[in-house]
Chains A and B, each alone.
Chain A
């Protein structure tokens, strides 16, 4: 495993993000500071990320987008590198992803998901297109869609809170379960290929996946 993703305890970088946001409100919109603070890794409040994304969607605010870009661009580039192994190609796919985030920001619905999950799905779809694959997707506006039985109230708070719960729950998963999830999401490997690469029986990989998600589901349900 060559991945270097650290799932640790919450360390607060919200302050850095707040600084970037304050800068975003300054007059010199559009002037990039060579030494502007950057968000690198660590934990940023999901609610703050969602607010930035909503701001981009509502008012095409370039500085809010820059804050998102400086946080996500290195991560998306790293995500792309894990598959392509080519830095230049990864940079292109990252640019593609982030420009798609800019264009589609108005479609982000904080009631339906959190910012990082939404950006992951955009990066994933760009990667699928890059490899000329097809992934038939759900149409949430389809007339035949079976609706949720009980719409939950207070969704916005819920989704940002869910993101935090997932982060914390992920940190408590045994390393072998975390590895399987990282290989699936980042290295673009189906669970059968993961089993092959790890030299494990398929059943072992399946049970790691099931254990991991049952723990994540428990974490989300405890709150209700």
Chain B
């Protein structure tokens, strides 16, 4: 089954340009692992960036000094050994449910996760990042139940990893990503028959507070 809900061009552009912060980027990169279509879009965007790089017109400067520095560096650096060939994909191992880079953030695939109860049969895991502007969590929603605590302000990304959820007329299954913002009123509900596991990235609710904490952290040494 192929992915039906993709990343918007503007978000993928921010990711391609490297301006998207870590929390959002984690959802984008994980969607890319599950979506060859968006990988091709990313290639096209990086291709466009390369074409723009080619077109940068530069003043005629003598680069000899720069080149001499570079040469000195090359001589200092040993020629690297060719990388060992990557292992053929999926050898003897069942494919993981959770793809990279998310799997490394979680430290394991689904079966090794330590869920914390959220109430009403739902569970979550907070995923630590160095990005104070976002909150990143893995959610497990019981079949047929709505996503709990569903109030947010600003942008929200939800990426389905297993099971599916319905939001209005749309169904989101493995690999599908939902991009929501303030003005979208929505009530995602896990489909019947299977729990839904999804990655949810939202704007950090206590952004201002955490900013203060970071300011005083060095003083308090906490």
Q: A residues bordering B, Cβ < 8 Å?
A: 4-8, 30, 32, 34, 38, 40-41, 43-44, 60, 62, 65-66, 69-70, 72-79, 91, 94-95, 98-99, 102-103, 106-107, 112-121, 123-125, 127-128, 133-139, 141-149, 162-163, 166-167, 170, 181-182, 184-186, 188-191, 193, 205-206, 209-210, 213, 216-217, 220
Q: Which residues of A contact B149 (CB under 8 A)?
A: none
Given A107-B83, A190-B20, decide whether A74 and B130 contact each other with a Cβ distance below 8 A: no
Cα of A213 to Cα of B49 in the assembled complex, Å: 12
Q: Which residues of A contact B19 (CB under 8 A)?
A: 184, 188-190, 193
Pick the contact of B33: A73, A138, A209 (CB < 8 A). Answer: A138
Does any Cβ of A come within 8 Å of B39's Cβ? Answer: yes
A–B pairs, 27, beta carbons within 8 Å: A38-B63, A40-B57, A66-B67, A70-B63, A75-B54, A78-B56, A78-B58, A99-B73, A102-B74, A118-B50, A119-B50, A120-B53, A128-B18, A133-B22, A134-B25, A134-B129, A134-B130, A135-B22, A136-B30, A137-B101, A138-B33, A141-B87, A163-B50, A167-B54, A170-B52, A182-B52, A184-B14
Interface residues of B in 77-119 (CB under 8 A from A): 77, 79-80, 82-83, 86-87, 89-90, 93, 95-103, 105
Q: Which residues of A contact B32 (CB under 8 A)?
A: 138
Pick the contact of B44: A74, A142, A166 (CB < 8 A). Answer: A166
Nearest CB of chain A from residue B6's CB, rounded to whole Å: 12
Q: Which residues of A contact B77 (CB under 8 A)?
A: 99, 102-103
Given A124-B18, A167-B51, decide whether A73 and B66 contact each other with a Cβ distance below 8 A: yes
Given A95-B73, A138-B33, A139-B101, decide whether A124 and B17 contact each other with a Cβ distance below 8 A: yes
Q: B residues bordering A, Cβ < 8 Å?
A: 2-3, 8-10, 13-22, 25-26, 29-30, 32-36, 39, 41, 43-58, 60-61, 63-64, 66-71, 73-74, 77, 79-80, 82-83, 86-87, 89-90, 93, 95-103, 105, 129-131, 175
Pick the contact of A135: B25, B41, B69, B95 (CB < 8 A). Answer: B25
Q: Which residues of B contact A136 (CB under 8 A)?
A: 22, 25-26, 29-30, 101-102, 105
**Structural contact, A32 and B64, CB atoms closer than 8 A:** yes
Pick the contact of A75: B35, B53, B90 (CB < 8 A). Answer: B53
**Structural contact, B101 and A41, CB atoms closer than 8 A:** no
Nearest CB of chain B from residue A200's CB, rounded to whole Å: 13
**Structural contact, A113 and B47, CB atoms closer than 8 A:** yes
Q: Which residues of A contact B52 (CB under 8 A)?
A: 5, 7, 170, 181-182, 185-186
Interface of A is mostly: helix
Cα of A150 to Cα of B55 in the assembled complex, Å: 32
Q: 3 shortest A-B CB distances, which residue pairs?
A: A116-B50, A117-B50, A144-B99
**Structural contact, B53 and A138, CB atoms closer than 8 A:** no
Interface centre among B10, B26, B45, B86 (most CB of A within 10 A): B10
**Structural contact, A144 and B33, CB atoms closer than 8 A:** yes
Interface centre among A76, A99, A107, A185 (most CB of B within 10 A): A185
**Structural contact, B54 and A216, CB atoms closer than 8 A:** no
Instruction: List the B residue with the shortest CB-CB distance to A60.
Output: B79
Pick the contact of A143: B15, B70, B96 (CB < 8 A). Answer: B96
Cα of A146 to Cα of B37 in the assembled complex, Å: 10
Q: Which residues of A contact B48 (CB under 8 A)?
A: 166, 170, 181, 185, 213, 216
Instruction: List the B residue with the shortest CB-CB distance to A35.
Output: B64
Q: Which residues of B contact A30 (CB under 8 A)?
A: 71
Nearest CB of chain B from residue A53's CB, rounded to whole Å: 12
Instruction: List the A residue with the shortest CB-CB distance to B39.
Output: A138
Cα of A118 to Cα of B49 in the assembled complex, Å: 10
Pick the contact of B103: A72, A98, A144, A186 (CB < 8 A). Answer: A144
Cα of A99 to Cα of B52 in the assembled complex, Å: 21
**Structural contact, A5 and B55, CB atoms closer than 8 A:** yes
**Structural contact, A184 and B17, CB atoms closer than 8 A:** yes
**Structural contact, B56 and A75, CB atoms closer than 8 A:** yes
**Structural contact, B95 and A34, CB atoms closer than 8 A:** no
**Structural contact, B60 and A40, CB atoms closer than 8 A:** yes
Cα of A11 to Cα of B131 in the assembled complex, Å: 44
